[in-house]
Amino acid sequence: MSRITLQDIADHTGLSKFAVSCSLSGKPGVSDTTRKRVQDAAVQLGYQRLKPAEERREITLIFHDQVDSVSYELRTMLQDGMQREAHRLGQPVRLQWTHDANRVEAMVKDSAGIILVGPHEQKTLDILRASGVPVVRLGWVAPLEQADHVGGTDHEAGIAVGEYLIGLGHRDIAFLQGEEGYRGRMERYHGLRESIEQYPDARLHNLHFKEDGGFIPALQSLQTTGIAPTALFCAHDGLALTAVSELLARGYRIPEDMSVVGFGDFSAATQISPQLTTIKVQGLEMGATALRLLLERIETQGDTVPARRILIASTFVERRSSGPAPKHGKSLDQTTRKEAGS
């Protein structure tokens, strides 16, 4: 059920919104009879008055509490960025982990603003929109959704990786998407495809598979069609670690036989050998920017400023897992035959 507004009470009583506001706030300008009439209607309709902004200065950071292992490190960076910026500005914040729309509704009533992180359900979004409380989203928004949003540059990252690998001479490039259904992964893929399509002699191959042990079968299936990629762009660093480990175990040299590029630049990227070439996501700055954007929206006190999208550019980190393309792609069958003959 939507929150009862001043306009709802005005419609119910036949009075102006101004008269209703004066009656409920205790301001002069209305008679005692009108004031009581409005107050009775507010009780009848279930109106709950939000505290004034100066009484609810606290900002609430709401993280979706069902987090996959891939997103956990990024979420931690976002949280740190928000909290550091809040401390720098002297802004009180509270942290909540939930996907329960009813809990979110309760939090809204005493919050100056909300930063919403993750793929929350439509009911939660409807509650926030109806509340009138300023909100900034960290997580994918619908096309032209009228919401302030801070995000990363997934599509650009895909383009950058494509240009980098093409520049190294790679012409058969595989995108390790793993499991389907993740918006960010698809944005990276589309960027990579956009880049590679500029080169008539280059081919892009999209590998879908269950991330628990499915990489090698997917690669073998591709190779049975006569395609032996020389470079892999992995949807996240975790997939890249899997690829590096399994390829090394099967006799591949990295990057001499296969270049591997990840995404995220999380802690594991430098904990393997060779260390991982990857795209660094600026999670700390994304979190800090979301807090600053929310405070700015609170100061404007309304919808006079159009909804904004702010993208924090990722950076390319080149390490030892990538290099020039070999003259010929190596297949798993070749490594198997070599091991059998040794």
Amino acid at 324: P
How far is Cα 299 from Cα 295, in angstroms, rounded to an integer? 6
pTM for this model (two decimals) = 0.80
- Per-residue pLDDT of 121-144, as tens digits, reads 999 999 999 998 999 999 899 999
Could you report how far apart the first and last alpha carbons of the chain are, in Å?
72
Tokens 């393997």 label which residue? 272
- Per-residue pLDDT of 307-338, as tens digits, reads 999 999 999 999 999 999 998 888 887 655 45
How far is Cα 228 from Cα 327, in angstroms, rounded to an integer? 11
pLDDT grade, residue 145 (50/70/90)? very high
Q: What does DSSP assign to residue 147?
A: S
Instruction: Output the DSSP codes for 86-141.
Output: HHHHT--EEEEE---HHHHHHHHTT-SEEEEES---HHHHHHHHHH---EEEES--
- Per-residue pLDDT of 243-262, as tens digits, reads 999 999 999 999 999 999 99
- Per-residue pLDDT of 15-54, as tens digits, reads 998 888 888 877 777 888 898 898 899 888 888 765 554 4
Q: What does DSSP assign to residue 201?
A: T
Amino acid at 189: Y
Q: Which residue has the higher pLDDT, 174 or 208?
A: 174
Evaluate the CA torsion angle 117, 71, 219, 200 in order and state its sign: positive
How far is Cα 154 from Cα 177, in angstroms, rounded to an integer? 13
CA nearest neighbour of 289 among 97, 86, 111, 102? 86
